[in-house]
Structure 1
Amino acid sequence: MFSKKRAFMATAAAAGAALVLAGCAGGSGSASPDATPTLDPDEKVTLNMSFWGNDVRADLYNQVIDAFEEQYPNITVNTSFLDFPSYWEKRQTEAAGGGLPDVMQFDYSYLRQYSENGLLLDLNPYLGNIIETDPLPQNILDIGVVNDQTTAIPTSTNAWGLFTNPKLLETVGVDDFEGGTWEDYTDWMSEVTDAGAGSIYGGTDYTGRIQNFEVQQRAKGEDLFTEDGEPNFTEKDLKAFWEQGQDIRDGIGIPQQTLEEIKPLSGFDAGKTASELTWDNFGAGYLANLGEGYTELNLVAPPITEEGAKDLYLKPSMLEAVSAKTKHPEAAATLVNFLINSPESGEIFGTNRGLPASETALEAANLDPIAQQIKDYEASITDRLGDAPPVPINGYGTLEQKFLEIGQELGYGTISVDDAVSQFFSEMDTVINQ
């Protein structure tokens, strides 16, 4: 059951249930296209709202909901939360049974699946009236659009970046990476590894992450997948990318066996590599894992594939969405607006959900040094920011994991690049045509 203003950790839904989401939606939640939606301040409404997270995030949500209910006394919000895997197991069970929460914290990788199966409310009728759009740049609003319908609004953003560890670099006596091409970055990693003498490495094989392949493809003006969900790269493209990592796998990068031994930490937050390419909101977690004596990290733009290319983009670290079956779409849209745009939300959440996407929320947020660094970083890469790619295809998470697993096999030397390419394209064909 839901408990008002006290989010609880629910029991995970039974795993392994085969769920078919198509045709589970419907209902009368959509607003009339001929009417401007408005909230009736006298109608007593109860909304169910769900999110993934932990006790810290739950407490923040409770504070925000308290502020929301003070401003909208006719609306009561019941909240619940789970860890990330259990959260999506429960959503899939609810989707099959037609009982999604009114408002949901949402992940980008599931947006197309739920949107195309009619499970999420089209928020277009609420934009500009109930949901304020002035504080949200158009490229942020566009992130939540699937097939011309706005089915989610980003709460926060992140971007791909390069973290470096100034303390480790001082230890080995190597200057920070000053930017340049991917080849320049590999040369810099080699310099760090040589100076580290087997205890500190320059970095990890970057060709093990599909995001680095994406950055290089976008530099050529090509997203990984088209709007229609078709691959936008060839076997030749992928082979050339994985071949870039051969020198790194041959001794420049941290050995794959060492990475296995230090899991769940990466080489970077285990203090064994001086750099890591990843999403910029990982900084706080890195510092926490590195522990005492580490007070700062450097954050710079990824290597350049082609000068002037719009190869980077802002990605939503999470979004808010509304069930297509909600009986109270105006109230649900009002809650979404408050969670994203209100100063109260910005002040209370800070950067717990990522750097606030809304200008009003961001202005109210008290940014700690690492959050301020992320804000400054995203401002510094404006010239490299292009439009976000199409919403991830159904099964993108599976492909991302397969890419990572193949990268690990390449690191161990148990598979050739040609076989790696064949494996990935075979998996991709299965995912797209399932």
Structure 2
Amino acid sequence: MKKTKNRLMLSCLSLTSVLIFAACSSESGGGEGGGNTGGAADEGGEEADVQEGQTELRVSWWGGQERHNRTIEAIELFEEKNPDIAVSTEFSGWDSHWERLSTQAAGRNLPDVVQMDLQYLNEYVSRDLLVDLNEYVDSGTINFDNVDEALIEGGIVDDSLYAVNLGTNSLFVLYDPAIFEEAGVPVPEPGYTWEEYADTARALYDELGVYSGEFSIMPFFSHYLRQHDLWLYNEDYTEMGYDDQYLIDFLDMYKELLDDGVVPGPDVTTDIHGLEDQLIIHGDSATLPENSNLIIAYVLAADRPLEMTTFPVVEGGSNGHILKPGQFLSISSQSENQDEAARFIDFVTNDLEANEILNAERGVPISSEVRDHIYEDLDEVEQMQFDYMDLVEDYAAPIHPPEPPGTRQIGEAYTRLLEELSYDMITTEEFAERFREEAEGILNN
């Protein structure tokens, strides 16, 4: 991949309570989901016009309208190159996607190909809902010749591959360079600390009265824990993996900025329902934390230059970023067309024309051949995403194991407690105590 870091304006920022976990994001619950926000559209899809001799393949995904349009166009190309297969599509926003899959799983009617998230992978594997893809890799049906092994590991559970990475991303801070310039506030360089972030946010607020994105949600706490060489859970998923003081310190940083009006409170964020509603889109916030694959959607929605930089660091701490699968594709164990589903996953992974259409909207492609092929034809914003992934490698930690079953419920508990904290109904100490109690109860259920 061509390196153009020198063209990336890198800086500081802050973070917002767009539920990157849900879930994803939502988020967006407990894991660092890839792009679960992003202007989700209403549910949609189309049944295939299956002709004699064709196999119907059902494909399901979540996302915003831009993702829907690109995916449908790529599917049309797949049908053209695979005339024995007709594809039925099912797509929606993040929450609707998982609600629909839950209903379909109970009725043994899951789609053949399912867009999967790291947060839910372990849960679906534990319920025997996904197919081990190793046989398709061994046979060459899914070709990883141009894929680094590190970009496959996120889809492995107990030595079996259950999900293929659709694109690599990482958390980032989106910021509006024009606001920084107008305020006369320097954009901090990558490697800036949480304290420097807070100082910058206060300076922006004092000068222009603009918010900075808030960093309170669970995926950002997970990032903070990695900077202390910790993970949210212990190794066997029976307890939380950190001392409560880490959560208290993390929430104290958020609450101080919230109480001073520097980050938006619940009276403001309650009106944010999708990407297009985010404060940074309308010039009311200088920064926003997100997943890197969403940079294109944000710039399109804002219709003005926006830039991206790393998260703050703990001074003297470890790296916190991970090179995360933005989303996966998995094959349902309920599918009767698993061979055709594997061909579809290989197509999305390796076909050059398909990836010209998909345009790295879900993250930087895992195939080096695909990356090299599409990079030069990307516009400046699209290349920014690739360049950011080059940059963030210097701030990345090893990817942690898949989230445990129950992650969604744990994320919902965190979000509910966060709302109580925002309304001064509980203290940060009470938050930490109650969250541990509820989360460990879920883990051991």
Contact 1:254 1:267 in 2 (8 A): no
- Structure 1 unaligned runs (5+)? 1-7, 12-42
User: Hey, what's the Cα distance between the residues in 1 that align with 2:397 and 2:125?
Assistant: 24
Q: 2:162 aligns with which of 151, 167, 180?
A: 151
Mapped to 2, the partners of 1:363 and 1:380 lie a distance apart of: 17
2:330 to 321, 327, 340: 321
- Residue 378 of structure 2 is aligned to residue 367 of structure 1: yes
Alignment of 1:19-58 (within 5 A): 45-53=55-63, 56-58=66-68
Equivalent residue, structure 1, for 2:21: none
Q: How does 1:24-423 map to 2 (within 5 A)?
A: 45-53=55-63, 56-128=66-138, 129-179=140-190, 180-196=192-208, 199-201=209-211, 203-206=212-215, 208-230=216-238, 231-251=240-260, 253-257=262-266, 259-260=268-269, 262-264=271-273, 265-291=277-303, 295-307=304-316, 309-365=318-374, 366-423=377-434
2:195, 2:44 → 1: CA distance?
Answer: 47
Cα deviation, residue 133, structure 1: 1.3
The alignment partner of 1:302 has SS state of coil
The one-letter amino acid paired with 2:242 is F
* CA apart distance, 1:240: 2.2
Name the aligned partner's letter for residue 79 of structure 2. E
Shift in CA distance, 370/98, structure 1 to aligned 2, threshold 3 Å: same
The C-alpha deviation readout for 1:352-389, integer Å capped at 9, x for no partner, is 33332332333343423222111111101112222211
Call closer, same or farther: CA 1:255–1:87 in 2, change over 3 Å.
closer
Tell me which moved more, 234-243 or 48-57: 48-57
Do the aligned partners of 1:52 and 1:81 also contact (CA within 8 Å) in 2? yes
**CA distance 1:137–1:308, shift in 2 (3 Å):** farther
Q: Conserved in 2, the CA contact under 8 Å of 1:346 and 1:360?
A: no
Residue 26 (structure 1) aligns with: none
| 1:329-348 deviation digits (Å, cap 9, x = unpaired) | 33321111101221122111
Q: Distance in 2 between matches of 1:54 and 1:389?
A: 27
Q: Which amino acid aligns with 1:187?
A: D
Distance 1:357 1:137 in 2: 7
* Residue 34 (structure 2) aligns with: none
Deviations 1:45-75 (A, max 9, x none): 4433223346654443343233333433333
1:252: how far off?
5.8
- How much has 1:262 moved relative to structure 2? 4.6
Give the structure, 1 or 2, with the largest relative contact order (CA under 8 Å, sep 6 or more).
Answer: 2
Contact 1:104 1:321 in 2 (8 A): yes
Offset at residue 276 of structure 1 (A): 2.1
**1:103: how far off?**
1.6
Gaps of 5+ in 2: 1-42, 47-52
**Secondary structure of 1:425's match?**
helix
Q: Which amino acid is the alignment partner of residue 424 of structure 1?
A: F
Aligned in 2, Cα 1:83/1:189: closer, same or farther, shift over 3 Å? closer
Secondary structure class of the residue paired with 2:290 = strand
CA drift at 1:159: 0.5
Per-residue CA deviations over 1:17-58 (Å, capped at 9, x if unaligned) read: xxxxxxxxxxxxxxxxxxxxxxxxxx9644332233466544
Q: State, as a whole percentage, how many aligned pairs show the same letter.
A: 26
- Give yes or no for contact 1:210–1:403 (8 Å, CA) kept in 2: yes
1:322 and 1:88 mapped to 2: Cα distance?
15
Assess if the C-alpha contact under 8 Å between 2:59 and 2:89 holds in 1.
Answer: yes
Secondary structure in 2 aligned to 1:254? coil
Taking structure 2 as the reference length, what is the TM-score of the superposition?
Answer: 0.79
How far apart are the structure 2 equivalents of 1:330 and 1:227? 35
Return the letter of the residue paired with 2:236.
D
Of 376-385 and 319-328, the range deviating more from structure 2 = 319-328
Superposed CA offset, 1:242-273 (max 9, x none) = 22334323316234155236523344334222
Higher-Rg structure is 1
Distance (Å, rounded) in 1 between the aligned partners of 2:197 and 2:415: 21
8 Å CA contact retained: 1:189, 1:252: no
Cα distance in 1 for residues equivalent to 2:358 and 2:403: 27
Distance 1:10 1:72 in 2: 20
SS of equivalent residue, structure 1 residue 381: helix
Equivalenced residues, count: 389
Report the RMSD for the aligned CA atoms in angstroms. Answer: 2.6
Match of residue 37 from structure 2: none
Asked if 1 retains the 8 angstrom alpha-carbon contact of 2:251 and 2:428, the reply is: yes
Per-residue deviation, 1:428:
0.7
Task: Answer yes or no: is the 8 Å Cα contact 1:116–1:146 preserved in 2.
Answer: no
The separation in 2 between residues aligned to 1:154 and 1:210, in whole angstroms, is 22
Contact 1:154 1:318 in 2 (8 A): yes
